[in-house]
Chains A and B, each alone.
Chain A
């Protein structure tokens, strides 16, 4: 059974940093692009970043202005999101999501974690 379990969320002050993790199991993690998608309270979905199977390609939504870094450790079946210079508008549930096409880039998300809540507030 495919499982994605996020962790690392919490309350952080504006300007602070946080590192999210996503533990993957039940599939060959190294065969899939992976993404982070966020959802502000009561709002819609926003794709944040994705990373290729071997980590050699990474893409981000423009609005992040270089504050976030996506990474992965295939030996640990884990995906990460380092978030720096956090702002109130980064408050959201952050989901880890698997790309729907193994070995290639698909762009649709066939499995999602339950999400981890990040709250940026003083």
Chain B
């Protein structure tokens, strides 16, 4: 199984500042023939289901604000919120879909400083 490890577990960022979340996979999730990273990011607000933000490591889902961006390749990935807004307070999860079982990171809680 591919283990997904996120860091930090939580972070507090001032409004308008940058938030950076890291995700590391125990093996590469880059499919060489397509040159695509099978990595997604989700946002989960309290009492709500997760919402897909990013897939293929860097493709923003339709309707997701441009302040959310994903980067990385192979085993190391980053979700960046360029200018934190109050509505971005949530837990963020990475997920690999390179192989079964599909696995998620442990989550990173983002709060306002």
Contact = CB atoms under 8 A, between A and B. Distances in A.
Interface of A: 35, 44-47, 50, 59-62, 95, 100, 106-110, 112-115
Given A106-B97, A108-B40, A47 B49 contact: no
B38 A107 contact: yes
A36 to B, nearest CB: 11
Contacts of A113: 49
Interface of B: 1, 38, 40, 42, 44, 48-52, 55, 61, 93, 95, 97-98, 100-107
Contact of B49 (A35, A62, A115): A115
B101 A61 contact: yes
A109 B50 contact: yes
Given A107-B38, A108-B40, A108-B95, A47 B50 contact: no
A95 B47 CA distance: 12
Contact of A44 (B38, B52, B93, B97): B93
Which 5 pairs, one residue from A and one from B, show the smallest C-beta to C-beta distance? Answer: A107-B97, A112-B49, A47-B102, A108-B40, A45-B104
Contact of B52 (A35, A60, A61, A108): A108
B3 to A, nearest CB: 12
Nearest to B52: A110
User: Which of B49, B97, B101, B106 has the most C-beta atoms of chain A within 10 angstroms of its own C-beta?
Assistant: B49
Given A35-B102, A108-B52, A110-B61, 17 more contacts: A44-B105, A44-B106, A45-B42, A45-B44, A45-B50, A45-B93, A59-B100, A60-B101, A61-B101, A62-B101, A95-B49, A106-B97, A107-B38, A109-B52, A112-B49, A112-B50, A114-B48
B101 A59 contact: yes
A113 B50 CA distance: 9
A75 B111 CA distance: 44
23 contacts: A35-B102, A44-B105, A44-B106, A44-B107, A45-B44, A45-B104, A47-B104, A59-B101, A62-B1, A95-B49, A95-B50, A100-B55, A107-B97, A108-B40, A108-B97, A109-B40, A109-B42, A109-B50, A112-B49, A112-B51, A113-B49, A114-B48, A115-B49
